[in-house]
A and B are shown apart, each in its own frame.
Chain A
Amino acid sequence: MGFGIFNTNAQNVDVQQNPVLFTDRDYCISGDTVWFKVWLQTSEKNSGNVVRVQLDGKNNKLISGVAVKSFEGWAAGFIAVPDSLSTGQYFLTAFLNAQRNKSELELVSKSLLVYNRFAENIAEMEIYQPDEILQKTDDQIMILNTNKEKYLPGEKVEINIELNKEIDCKWFVVKATLIDPLAHEIRGNFKFKVESLNSFIPDFHENNGLLLSGKVTDLNGNIPSNALVTLSAGEIQPFFDYYFLGENGDFHFFLKDAIGNADVVLQVVSNDKNSYFIQLDNNYLRRKDLINTQQKVLKQDQIEFINTAIKANFAHRLFNPSTSVRPEIFEMPSRFLMPFYGQPSQHVVPEEFIDLPDFREISRELLPGFQYRIKNDEITFRMINSRQKIFFEEEPLRLINGIPVFKNDLFAGLKSTDINYIDLVLNERIYGDLIFNGVLEVSLIDKSNLWLTQQPNVFQFNVSFLQPNRKPGNFIQKNLNETQPDMRQVYFWELLKVESLQNIGFYLSDRKGKIEISIEGFTGKNEFFHTSKMIEVK
């Protein structure tokens, strides 16, 4: 979407306060990828530079949510629409975490019509039709000309833009897309009053990182007291943090510069023997009021368009099987040039020595200052305090692959060939308000962490952090093979500066219908503008 019509004055108020969302399409087939751009009008330093974009259904059910980092006021990313999503109207909304606890928050959402790719002859749909849709009028900031008005499939469209030079325009979102008659009929942006789904998530200003929130309860739903949650993530240089549970059993972590998907390990540490559960919270907003939808009987041209679009999508998948965006590898640069537990007093690589069959032998032969004791079948570790030249009374912080371990017998069977390296920190360390009486870190060659299943109150989650910077490549007409169909519906989708507005052109696909070319953006005074032109492919 993005070619909805706005009331410029209303939009100026929103522009001052809220992120402005642009999308490359206002309809899609389930399984498609929707690309978006977001303009952050507010100062990034004040509110954070990470934008969250969510896709939800009419009943406030969250379908998908992503977080992207902005650069020079603009953020760009994508949402993968689930393959199994049923036909219906959905909404895309952009927001900053810093906004979540505002008492009266109104956000502008964009409608996205999804047609399930297995549906046939969709003749009616439930559509939200509010009393008032934000409409926009064409501004006279520029004049769009094309080399023709009517084209044949596959032809090249050349755009000429006459800019009103009195207006200082900085950025332009240029889009050319095939029109869905139904989406075009209900086009517009929808303003909703929204609220945080989870009031315990703080309105933390997310700068260059992501807030991860969750809750801890026991089997009966009770909240533990005096417990903390630890988080471990990353393989090469593990990240660690802790959170002392709030009165609602909530915890929050901020992972700076964390990009991609990662398995994070969360553990509940408390003085009792209870079993606990951890649930991660979805960080999204919901509409305060239910929206009233009405069953809309579709017109013939709308039905035909949808049928054609589904078939075109099928054909496109047939000839382009690998077009979905894959989950990303995790990247999170370490904050400092040393592990979170401190510079090791000893760094031992067992591979450099004779192979030893178990950890008791390893500690005896390779780890001076570390004692491995067995008493009454119980294994205990003791470490020497190198400053005071005496052994610590308490056990050290024990880590395997950067994850705290509380059962010493997990170390017992480790042999030299299992271990990448061992770090010993032979002094008393402070990490925030935590004190470590020495540290033992065993980094294993196998990072799968299957040993975690033997630890109580430990949970592993796959978490999506900041979305890596990706550009859509499927708009470009790359398939010049005349025997393969070109079923694109989006032909051009770029954020351009004024000097790049010359000589814009794109190739049409094999699909016929009306195409809208639109240019939207902001003037130097941060006023929103919109201009569009229709052409036809017959």
Chain B
Amino acid sequence: MMNMEKYLLFHFVVLLHMISMAQNSGLSGVNLTQNSNRLQGKLTGEVFYLSLTSNTSHFLQPDWIEGTITLKDGDVFEGIRMRYMAFGDELVAYNSNIHKLFIVDKNTVQQFTFKTSLKSGNFAERKFINLDSLEIFTDGTYFEELYSGKVKLLAFYQIGETKVSPYIDSTGKICDTEFLLKTIYYVMSGSKDLTRVQLKNRSLFILYPENKKEIRKLLRKNKIDIIDESSAVRAFDLLDVNGFLK
């Protein structure tokens, strides 16, 4: 029995030593395999830990979706499970090899895209661009590109925490804040000027006052009344084709 205890103790110590050596390297990669190798490059970021609150309130999408990330150097990563965290304006991706979520380094990302299913059963591709990649050098912001032509129609999704009357949340906790999604629309001109707009016909009249009459006539003729993103995209497309956008 004593010999067995000594035998077990010896191997336990050896095992501890091996684990500690792996830790001392500073490189931790529990499940490294040949799949960990990618010659063109690797995605980098900060490890992200999901909480109940962040999972339910911080993201634009309700669930993880598969999409494509394009980096500023042209490297493309397909089949990445991701969600856009509108609370904080970050892209969170899932590394399935090591089962970790991480915030993709924003200053490496040019754009990301994913498909969403429509009521008709078809899929629509949604494209988010990093403003840095349009050579508008802020500290980096993700905008959804709703329309791209001579001008771009962009949407910025922002989830903010606001004070409300106290209530009991789904976990039974008393809360006095809520997370609310706000969408702000912008038009980016060819000279990279950003102008905030609302999804209304009137916004186009303000943007292009010199062609106000013609634009109004064109929209009426084509029965387009801007009330949402879909009608806004159709309106911009129509104006682009007819040479009104600049």
Q: Does B29 contact A (CB under 8 A)?
A: yes
Q: Does A436 contact B27, Cβ atoms closer than 8 Å?
A: yes
- Residue in B closest to A243 when the chains form the complex, CB atoms: B37
- Supposing A204-B39, A243-B37, A254-B39 touch, asked if A433 and B26 sit within 8 A by C-beta, the answer is no
A254-B40, A433-B36 known; A394 vs B29 contact (CB < 8 Å): no
A432-482 CB contacts (< 8 Å) to partner B: 432-437
Contact A406 B24 (CB under 8 A): yes
Cβ of B122 within 8 Å of any chain A Cβ, yes or no, is no
CB within 8 Å for A228 and B32 given contacts A431-B42, A435-B47: yes
Is the C-beta of A271 less than 8 angstroms from some C-beta in chain B? yes
Please determine whether B29 and A433 come into contact, CB atoms closer than 8 angstroms.
Answer: yes
Within 8 A of A (CB), among B18-39: 18, 21-29, 31-39
The listed residue with most B CB atoms (<10 A of its CB), out of A343, A432, A433, A434, is: A433
**Interface residue? B100 (CB, 8 A):** yes
Binds B, one of A24-32, A60-68, A123-131, A395-403: A395-403
Please give the distance in Å from B119's CB to the nearest CB on chain A: 37
Q: A395-B24, A430-B95, A436-B28 are in contact. Are A271 and B47 (CB under 8 A)?
A: no
Q: Which residues of B contact A404 (CB under 8 A)?
A: 25-27
Q: Which of B101-109, B168-176, B183-191 contacts A (4 or more CB under 8 A)?
A: B101-109
**Which chain B residue lies CB-closest to A434?**
B29
The reply on B98 being an interface residue by CB < 8 A is: yes
Given the known inter-chain contacts A254-B40, A335-B108, please indicate yes or no for A427 contacting B26, CB distance below 8 A.
no
Instruction: Please tell me if the beta carbons of B36 and A396 are within 8 angstroms of each other in the complex.
Output: no
User: Which residues in chain A, 293-351, are within 8 Å of chain B measured between CB atoms?
Assistant: 335-338, 340, 342-343
Q: B44 near A340 (CB under 8 angstroms)?
A: yes
Q: How far is the CA of A271 from the CA of B30 in the complex (A)?
A: 12
Residue of A nearest to B30 (CB): A435
B47 CB, min distance to chain A CBs, angstroms: 4
Residue of B nearest to A386 (CB): B46
* Complex interface residues of chain B between 106 and 140 (CB less than 8 A to chain A): 107-108
Q: Give bound CA distance, A271 to B21, whole Å.
A: 6
| B72 at interface by CB-CB < 8 Å | yes
Bitwise, A241-267 to B at CB < 8 A (1) or not (0) is 111101000001110100000000000
Which residues 172-209 of B have a CB within 8 angstroms of A? Answer: none
- B97: A residues at CB distance < 8 A: 433
A144 at the interface (CB under 8 A from B): no
Of A226, A243, A273, most B-chain CB atoms within 10 Å: A243
Given A253-B39, A254-B40, A430-B46, the answer on whether A343 and B28 have CB atoms closer than 8 Å is no
Which B residues are CB-close (under 8 A) to A340? 44
Contact with B along A200-235 (1 / 0, CB 8 A): 001010000001000000000000001010100000
Known contacts A433-B29, A434-B27, A435-B47; is A336 also within 8 Å of B72 by CB?
A: yes
Identify A244's interface contact among B36, B45, B102, CB under 8 A.
B36
* B73 CB-CB contact with A under 8 Å: yes
* Residues in A whose Cβ lies below 8 Å from that of B38: 432
* Chain B 203-219 interface mask (CB, 8 Å, partner A; 1/0): 00000000000000000
Which residues of B lie under 8 Å from residue A434 when comparing CB positions? 27-29, 32
Q: Is the CB of A336 within 8 A of B108?
A: yes
Determine the residue in chain A with the shortest Cβ distance to B45: A430
Number of interface residues of B (CB under 8 A): 38
B contact residues around A343 at 8 Å (CB): 105, 107
> Across the interface, which residues of B come within 8 angstroms of A427, CB to CB?
46-47
**With A342-B105, A427-B47 in contact, is A406–B42 under 8 Å at CB?**
no
Closest beta carbon of chain A to B204's beta carbon, Å: 37
The answer to whether A435 touches B29 (Cβ under 8 A) is yes
Produce 1/0 per residue, A114-150, CB < 8 A to B: 0000000000000000000000000000000000000
Residues of the B chain whose Cβ atoms lie less than 8 Å from the Cβ of A533: none
In the bound complex, do residue B43 and residue A432 qualify as a contact, i.e. CB atoms below 8 Å apart? yes
A394 touches B23 (CB 8 A): yes
Q: Which residue of B lies closest to A336 (CB)?
A: B108
Q: Which residues of A contact B24 (CB under 8 A)?
A: 395, 406
Establish whether residues B39 and A271, one from each chain, have CB atoms under 8 Å apart when the complex forms.
no
A433 to B108, CA, bound (A): 17
Residues of B within 8 A of A337 (CB): 107
Chain B proximity of A268: nearest CB distance (Å): 11
Q: Which of A27-82 contact B (CB under 8 A)?
A: none
Assess A342 versus B44: contact at CB under 8 Å? Given A244-B33, A432-B36. Answer: yes
Chain A residue contacts of B31, Cβ below 8 A: 433
Residue of B whose beta carbon sits closest to that of A253: B39
A112 at the interface (CB under 8 A from B): no
How far, in whole Å, are A433 and B40 apart by their CA atoms in the complex? 14
Which residues of A sit under 8 angstroms from B43, Cβ to Cβ? Answer: 430, 432
Among B40, B72, B100, B108, contact of A430 (Cβ-Cβ < 8 Å): B100
Cβ of B26 and Cβ of A396 under 8 Å apart? yes
> Within B142-168, which residues are at the interface with A (CB < 8 Å)?
none
A337 to B110, CA, bound (A): 13
Interface residues of A in 411-438 (CB under 8 A from B): 427-437
- Give bound CA distance, A394 to B108, whole Å: 27
**Residue contact B26 to A252, C-beta cutoff 8 Å:** no
CB neighbours of B33 from chain A (8 A): 244
Question: Least Cβ distance of B145 to chain A in Å?
Answer: 22
Closest 5 CB pairs of A and B: A432-B42, A433-B36, A428-B47, A397-B26, A254-B39
Binding site for B on A (CB under 8 A): 202, 204, 211, 226, 228, 230, 241-244, 246, 252-254, 256, 269, 271, 273, 335-338, 340, 342-343, 387, 393-398, 404, 406, 427-437
Q: Can you show 6 pairs from A to B with CB atoms below 8 A apart?
A: A335-B73, A336-B71, A394-B28, A406-B25, A433-B32, A435-B47
